[in-house]
Each structure stands twice: as C-alpha cells, then as structure tokens.
Amino acid sequence: MMMINSVAKEAKRKTGNRFIDCDIHNEVPSNEVLKQYLPLRWRKYMDMVGLRSYHGFVQSVPYPKGNPGGTRADAWPPNGQIPGSDLKFMQEQLLDPLNLEYGILNCLYRVGEQLNDEYGAALARAVNDWQIAEWLDKEPRLRASIVIPYENADMAVEEINRVASHSGFVQVLIMPRTREPMGRRKYWKIYEAAENHGLPIAVHFGGLGGNAITSSGFPSYYIEDHTSMAQAFQCQVISMVCEGIFERFPNLQVVMLEGGFAWMPSLMWRLDKHWKRLNEEVPFLKRKPSEYIRRHMHFTTQPIEEPPVPEYLLQVIEHLGSDDMLMFATDYPHWDYDSPDLTFDAKFPEKLKQKFFYKNAQSLYRFPDKE
C-alpha cells in the first residue's frame, strides 16, 4: 500500500455540529497481540487450527483483496499495521482533528461465526479484554461494543454478563448475516441479557453465517454483494418485529449499523399492510410493525444513500415518521467513510442535524451532554 505523507489533514473543526460517531472500527493488529489475552489452550489452538467458520472463506473474507480490510487508503498507521489497529494514529486522524465528543468502537473480529463454539467464546473474551486494556482504559472519548459468539446464546450471555459492568461497553454486537433470522428463539437469551444490562443490540454490516447474501443465491460481483447487504438488514428488521421480540423484551433497543435507511419507509408500509391482514398468525403483536420499529430501532447514517437530489433524503425521513431514529457514523477507517463536515450538505434543517449528529445517540446511550 502506497503511503504518502499527508499535508491535507482535515482542518480542526472550530464550528459546526458537535457529533457522536456511532461506528468506528478498532482492529486487532495481529494474532500475536490477541494471544496475549488468550489462555494457553486457545493460543495453541490458534496455531494448530485457527479460524473455522460457516462459509468457504476461512482465512479471508469475500471482499476485494486489493483493499485489505476494506479501508481508507490514507488510514494506514506509520507502523504499517492494519488501519484501525493503532490508537495513537486514530487519535491523530479522527478523534482530535474532528473534535468528536464520543465514538463507539465496533470490533469486527470474527468471533461470531466460529464453528468451534468454545474457540469463538475464547476469542470473544480475548477481544473484549483487549478492547478494555488497549482502547477503553486509554481513551475516555471512546466506548465499545461487546463482541459475542452470537450463534451460541448460552456462551454469548456468559460473555455479556462477564464484561457488561465495564462502563466503556455500551452495546452488544451482532452481524446481520446470522445462521437464522435474529427473531428466532435461539437468540432470545442474548436479548434478555442485553435488556437486563440496559445495553442495546447493535447489528453491524457483515457476518458470514453461511447463507447466501441474496435470497436467490450467490451473485457474481462484489458490487452486488455490497448492495445486497441491505437485504440482510431487512430480514432482521422483519424477523425481530414479527417474532415479537419487542413484546417479549419491551425495553430492548436495536441499532442497525451501516445498513442504510432509505429502504425503511417502504418496508414499514409493507409490514403494516400485511399485519392488518395476517395479525391472527402473530396475535402477540399488539401494535403495528412500524410502531415497534420507531420505538425500538435506530439506524446509523453511514453510508448515507446518495440520491440524485440530496434533499430527497428529507422526504425519506418524513416517511420514516420519526426524526429520532437516525444517528451519525463515520465508519472510520473503512473505505466508505462519511465525513461529518461534508456528508450532509443537503439543506437539512439545523434542528434535524443536531438530532442525528448528537442528540439521538446521546439519548440512546445516555451519554453526559458535554455542553
């Protein structure tokens, strides 16, 4: 990867919206680093067997190889390790120049898709301990998501209960490409634990649960894969609502990260219409599906849809029927990063900007308002 010294670092923001970044990625720099947090049994297993997951990409992922880690080309730290692995460089490139108030780390290390449940659980413990030691305890602006082996709910709950008391953890992370739709009973214990701890469930782009990215099988090109991730999110919204998750766990909040949101209004309309006809099948749903969505679900903005007329997004928000659901995210250091200064120059009302740059996330995560 070519490195050129930048003289064009983003200028320090002196004005503009305060913001909370709901999606920053911290990367485990190497297996050797993670081994410091693994017991001998799993250090040896890492060398002997390593990752074994539900799909064919064991040591890799089905993402473009020309862009390792799917990162911004200018986000490689001076030490040459993977972007997102160096706190100091993240501070210099993101936290300091942008004057961010809070940032939430979502570590995408592949703990959730391990066929060996015990290894997945061991990796989750190691990654969470690494997050505490290397990130949360070193940088007060950062918070993090608890990573869990989400295909084994018992083990996932153990891990949630183990670390939830650390004030740096603010949610529980799952990837939308699960083995089964997330409303299914095999996952319910996870929601119970999250609700008990007052932690939202965060669902972040990705995961390799073994199912095809589309409902019709595997497409040829990455552009299809990338676009079709919205299908995975749509499945999870439908499943969580229709299986009655929000009746059973009435205080549970769910954050959809990096899945887009412009598709939500039509999905809400469609669900509401079908619910009126089919509610006898799901009589435990006491409200219209769209009401559960507005009460319990949140969507991050990045990568924000880019309609030919930017102001069309205002219509989408109107159709959502709520301006409380959207929260800003950069996705740093990934390649579809959104800048807090440049992403929203559609003529958005100031009040709306304040909500999705700051207030919606501050309210959901109960962060102290720094002003």
Partner 1 sequence: MQKYVVATADEIPPGQRKIIKIAGKSIGIFNINGEFFAIRNRCPHGGAPLCEGVLSGFVQSPVPGEYTYTRKGEIIRCPWHQWEFDVKTGQSWVDPVKTRVRSYEAKIEQGCSLVNPAEIELEKGPFAAETFSVSLDKDYVVLEI
Binding region for partner 1 (CB under 8 A) = 2, 4-10, 67, 72-74, 306-310, 335-339, 341-343, 345
Q: Supply the minimum distance, in Å, between the C-beta of residue 178 and partner 1.
A: 28
203: enclosing H helix or E strand? strand 201-204
C-alpha atoms less than 13 angstroms from C-alpha of 147 in its C-beta half-sphere: 30
**What's the token pair of residue 158?**
């153990």
Element counts in the chain: helices (H) and strands (E): 13, 8
Q: Residue 157: name the closest of 130, 117, 102, 213 by CA.
A: 117
Comparison of 210 and 219: residue with beta carbon closer to partner 1: 219
Min separation Cβ 261 and partner 1, Å = 16
Would you say 173 and 24 are in contact if contact means Cβ atoms under 8 Å apart? Answer: no
Q: Which of 8, 40 has the CB closer to partner 1?
A: 8
What is the smallest separation between the CB atom of 66 and partner 1, expressed in angstroms? Answer: 9
Centroid of chain to Cα 242: 22
CB 288 within 8 A of CB 328: no
CB of 155 to partner 1, least distance (A): 37
Cβ of residue 77: shortest distance to partner 1, in angstroms? 14
Q: How far is the CB of 159 from partner 1 (least distance, A)?
A: 34
Q: In terms of residues, how long is the chain? A: 371
Q: Region of 366 please: left (phi>0), alpha (psi -120 to 50) or beta.
A: left
The minimum distance between CB 317 and partner 1, in angstroms, equals 17
Nearer to partner 1, 4 or 40 (CB): 4
**Least distance to partner 1 from the beta carbon of 350, Å?**
20
Nearest distance from residue 300's CB to partner 1, in Å?
Answer: 16
Measured from the CB atom, is 93 or 114 closer to partner 1?
93
Distance in Å from the first CA to the final CA of the chain: 41
Question: Which residue, 4 or 48, has its beta carbon nearer to partner 1?
Answer: 4
- Gap between the Cα atoms of 28 and 30, Å rounded: 6
User: Is the torsion defined by CA of 360, 363, 367, 371 positive or negative?
Assistant: positive
d(CA 215, CA 283): 27
Q: How far apart are CA 324 and CA 31, in angstroms?
A: 40
Shorter beta-carbon distance to partner 1: residue 181 or 310: 310
Q: What share of the chain is helix, strand, coil (3-state, %, to 5)?
A: 40, 10, 50
User: Shortest gap between Cβ of 82 and partner 1 (angstroms)?
Assistant: 15
Nearer CB in complex with partner 1: 72/125: 72
Give the ranges where the chain is alpha helix by DSSP (H): 31-35, 40-48, 87-90, 117-131, 153-163, 188-196, 222-242, 245-248, 264-278, 289-296, 312-320, 350-354, 360-365
Q: Between 282 and 316, whose beta carbon lies closer to partner 1?
A: 316
Place of tokens 């060996």: 116
Which is closer to partner 1, CB of 74 or CB of 324?
A: 74
Cα torsion 196, 199, 203, 209 to 10°: value is -40
Q: Smaller CB distance to partner 1: residue 210 or 310?
A: 310
